[in-house]
Structure 1
Amino acid sequence: MSLSDILMLMLCGGIAGFLAGLLGIGGGMILVPFMILVFNHQGFSQTVIVHMAIATGMATILFTTTSAIWAHHKHSSIDWKLVASLSPGMVLGGLVGGSELFEALKTSWLSFFFALFIVYTSIQMLLNKKPKGGRDLPGPIGLFSFGTFTGVLASLVGAGGAFITVPFMLWCNVKPHVAMATSSGLGFPIAAAATIGYMYGSWGNPNLPAGSLGFVYLPAVACIVVVSVFTAPWGAKMARKLDVAQLKRVFGIMLFLLAAFMFNESRKAFGF
């Protein structure tokens, strides 16, 4: 990679890590558009670029969430019983979505689906709406089913699942700061399962460049993680000091711009 590509990935990694700690998100969706630019610059095959960007972004969540988890755990903010209850379904969903469905989706549809997810996320950020608590947490079967659904969806868009799990936990009367911190803990099993699925489902693909483990491009992972693991604890610390609602609105506007980029990538892939 060129120096400019490395610096771009490191900068994005720093931002993604900070937001992972601050907002409880994995940060993968921020990285994907920029990795597409880097991978295009390196001349990777157009048939795998979007898949590689999403898979590589998800792989970085393994490291980013670990750093954020430790920061939240020190303040006893994570509900580990809830993490243990939801994780089995998330692992199953992440494996299935990451290996079978992800490989089957064409670049055009994957780009379009990812762009739609960014729009949904940006609207949530801009409105900063918190669902009213309506019930208690469901039983084991309900938690497993919800976890499986979350794992499949998160693996298809390369996200840690916070935009699904946090509203769900708030609706089930989990305290807001606990829901945000617990979403970091849930990001790890989703990322681990999906990353394994990405690598297994694409192993031996002739269009992948050197340095790849399936769809995961290791040099990009290294550039991002070397910065994000340091900025994630900073974000977790600032979450208790900053006006997070205002930051969410700024982040939401930025996501709209990223969504426009992904819709354009989808248009080009469809041949419009």
Structure 2
Amino acid sequence: MEGLLPLVFTMLATGLVAGVIAGLLGVGGGIVIVPVLDTALAVRGVDPAIRMHIAVGTSLATIIFTSISSARAHHARGAVDMDLARLWGPFIFVGSMMGSVVAAAVDSAVLAAIFGVVALLIAIQMLLPLEDYRPWKSVPRGPGGIIAPSLIGGLSSMMGIGGGTFSVAILTMMSQPIHRAVGTAAFFGLLIAIPGTLGFIVNGWGDPRLPVGNLGYVNLIGVALIAPMTVMMAPLGARLAHKLSKRHLSLAFGVFLGIVSVRMILRATGVLG
């Protein structure tokens, strides 16, 4: 029990921070949860070959609850574009399902590399002054209306994130107002988390390397500790999103993501265990 206490406090703190970030930026909190869980599982001696699978699967499970809380808070402020949700929703859902299947088939180091590289690219995008970069005047209805949401769903599921990290950046480049992009991204998180979680449960079922408390690649202890905190704190983040400077938020989050991405890349190359 003594050895479990640090893990419990780490999970609770992770949920608190992830919840605020989820509401603040429209992300599911996974961008915080995955690297922390990966580290916590390493301390617990979980097999490195499946550590990222558990971190990603568990993160997606917590995002189900976070996204509901965050999306409701944004919807109450009229910031969820339901027309766009109906247009992109099916492609995001299927993309997430396919992403979880691919993720389960690759090594943990591959998932860490994908997480690290994509997070680094997002960090660079957030640090650069690109708020006024609008290559599209509206959301495309042709191939772009299929490719963009499919990639958002697939990559997000493989990384264990709610998709807001991608959705907000893409939607603002499509000339969508920032607060509407954040609110709609929160709803997309639910469409990513549900099929992604189910995929990680099914594909990890019966793996003899799983630690106690796992349902497939989803750690139920982690979900039980993190999810309530994220649900509680997401509305606070949503309120802050409508008060704070988006540029300052982008800079702070970009720096954080840069640090996380470097750690994940080192993990993938074997420099860190």
**TM-score when scaled to structure 2?**
0.92
d(CA) in 2 for partners of 1:258, 1:137: 31
Find the counterpart in structure 2 of residue 59 from structure 1. 61
Query: Structure 2 vs 1, CA of residues 142 and 122 (structure 1 numbering), >3 Å: closer, same or farther?
Result: closer
> What CA deviation, in whole Å up to 9, does each residue of 1:19-63 have, x standing for no partner?
110111111021112111211222211211111111111211111
Partner residue of 1:228 out of 202, 227, 230: 230
Matches within 5 A, 1:182-193: 182-193=184-195
Q: Which residue identity lines up with residue 106 of structure 1 in the other structure?
A: D
Q: Which residue identity lines up with residue 129 of structure 1 in the other structure?
A: L
> What CA deviation, in whole Å up to 9, does each residue of 1:174-210 have, x standing for no partner?
2221111111111110111111111112212111122
Query: Aligned residues: percent identity?
Result: 31
d(CA) in 2 for partners of 1:147, 1:126: 24
Contact 1:89–1:151 (CA under 8 A) maintained in structure 2: yes
d(CA) in 2 for partners of 1:42, 1:260: 22
Q: Does 2:202 correspond to 1:200?
A: yes
Find the counterpart in structure 1 of residue 82 from structure 2. 80
Find the counterpart in structure 2 of residue 256 from structure 1. 258
Runs of 5+ in structure 1 lacking a partner? none
Runs of 5+ in structure 2 lacking a partner? none
Q: Which residue identity lines up with residue 32 of structure 2 in the other structure?
A: I
> What CA deviation, in whole Å up to 9, does each residue of 1:121-163 have, x standing for no partner?
2112222523315233233764333322221111111121223
Contact 1:24–1:181 (CA under 8 A) maintained in structure 2: yes
Give aligned pairs, total. Answer: 270
Find the counterpart in structure 2 of residue 266 from structure 1. 268
d(CA) in 2 for partners of 1:140, 1:129: 25
d(CA) in 2 for partners of 1:128, 1:51: 34
d(CA) in 2 for partners of 1:219, 1:247: 31
d(CA) in 1 for partners of 2:127, 2:147: 29
Q: Runs of at least 4 residues of structure 1 off by over 3 A?
A: none
Cα drift, residue 231 of structure 1: 0.8
> What CA deviation, in whole Å up to 9, does each residue of 1:55-87 have, x standing for no partner?
111211111111111111111111111112111
Matches within 5 A, 1:101-140: 101-130=102-131, 131-132=133-134, 134-139=136-141
Contact 2:50–2:107 (CA under 8 A) maintained in structure 1: no
d(CA) in 2 for partners of 1:270, 1:240: 38
Query: Structure 2 vs 1, CA of residues 233 and 156 (structure 1 numbering), >3 Å: closer, same or farther?
Result: same
Contact 1:108–1:269 (CA under 8 A) maintained in structure 2: no
Partner residue of 1:209 out of 197, 203, 211: 211
d(CA) in 1 for partners of 2:125, 2:20: 19
Find the counterpart in structure 2 of residue 49 from structure 1. 51
Matches within 5 A, 1:88-107: 88-99=90-101, 101-107=102-108
Secondary structure of residue in 2 paired with 1:268: coil
Query: Structure 2 vs 1, CA of residues 199 and 152 (structure 1 numbering), >3 Å: closer, same or farther?
Result: same
Q: Which moved more, 1:154-163 or 1:186-195?
A: 154-163
Secondary structure of residue in 1 paired with 2:73: helix
TM-align CA RMSD: 1.9
Partner residue of 2:172 out of 170, 173, 196: 170
**TM-score when scaled to structure 1?**
0.93
